[in-house]
Chain A
Amino acid sequence: NAGVTQTPKFQVLKTGQSMTLQCAQDMNHNSMYWYRQDPGMGLRLIYYSASEGTTDKGEVPNGYNVSRLNKREFSLRLESAAPSQTSVYFCAIRPTTGGSPLHFGNGTRLTVT
């Protein structure tokens, strides 16, 4: 999806390892979101950043930290990965809050063994 780049595309971790998922956008949008998608569960909001310099918890923030490094980048960190964090992680952006739709990246598929 043009505009939102997620890296890596795939990752396998062992329990207890740490890693950072990267999200970068070139659309100059203010708001950025991290979701996880498990089979049959839809998308669940982990953290979001309404604008540069702000971050807020979503539905399932435990076990994750985020950094809004600048307007372009919003990273998601797993400090000590657990098998329950096996999922597909999506980054999404939108121009601003309040009534604009989300534009999604293609996701990072993470497996924790």
Chain B
Amino acid sequence: SQQGEEDPQALSIQEGENATMNCSYKTSINNLQWYRQNSGRGLVHLILIRSNEREKHSGRLRVTLDTSKKSSSLLITASRAADTASYFCATESRDDKIIFGKGTRLHILP
């Protein structure tokens, strides 16, 4: 089974609102990564947080990591129409595997 599981599976919000997506995983990790995918194209890396970090920021993105709960969240602030996409978390374990979750489909309403 896949390591990461995102929640919710789908999310629709008004433009300008904040969007929060969650990711849970099962085993110990070296780091956790978030990616975005537009319309079935290749994924684009957004942010990486290491297992000894608790929070990381990049522009309008904020990622948190709680290794005791084996969970992470991605917050997108002040959403825009261009943020409409699927978002995936991926966990990297000690054997260099990078395993993806099923993703959250985000739709920003005008």
- Spell out A's residues near B (CB within 8 Å): 1, 4, 31, 33, 35, 40-45, 48, 50, 56, 58-59, 88, 90, 92, 97-99, 101-107
CA distance A58 to B48 in the complex (A): 21
In the assembled complex, the CB of B94 is this many whole angstroms from the nearest CB of chain A, namely 9
Are the CB atoms of B42 and A106 closer together than 8 Å?
yes
Which residues from B are CB-within-8-Å of A98?
30, 92, 96
Q: Which 8 A-B residue pairings sit nearest by Cβ, starting from the closest?
A: A104-B42, A101-B45, A42-B102, A97-B96, A43-B100, A42-B100, A104-B43, A50-B96
10 pairs, CB–CB < 8 Å, chain A vs chain B: A45-B97, A48-B96, A48-B98, A99-B50, A101-B33, A101-B45, A104-B44, A105-B42, A106-B41, A107-B42
B31 within 8 A of A: yes
In the assembled complex, the CB of A88 is this many whole angstroms from the nearest CB of chain B, namely 7
Are the CB atoms of A42 and B103 closer together than 8 Å?
yes
CA distance A40 to B60 in the complex (A): 27
Which residues from B are CB-within-8-Å of A33?
98
Which residues from A are CB-within-8-Å of B25?
none
Which residues from A are CB-within-8-Å of B43?
43, 90, 92, 102, 104
B110 within 8 A of A: no
* Interface bracket on B: 20 to 34
With CB as the reference atom, state the residue of chain A lying closest to B89.
A42
Count contacts between A and B, CB distance < 8 Å: 66
Further contacts, 14 of them, CB under 8 A, given A92-B43, A104-B44, A107-B41: A42-B101, A42-B103, A43-B43, A43-B100, A44-B100, A45-B97, A45-B100, A48-B96, A56-B97, A59-B99, A98-B96, A101-B48, A104-B43, A107-B40
B2 within 8 A of A: yes
| Interface-central residue, B35, B42, B90, by most chain A CB under 10 Å | B42
Which residues from B are CB-within-8-Å of A92?
42-43
In the assembled complex, the CB of A30 is this many whole angstroms from the nearest CB of chain B, namely 10
Are the CB atoms of B48 and A99 closer together than 8 Å?
yes
Are the CB atoms of A45 and B98 closer together than 8 Å?
yes
Are the CB atoms of B102 and A41 closer together than 8 Å?
yes
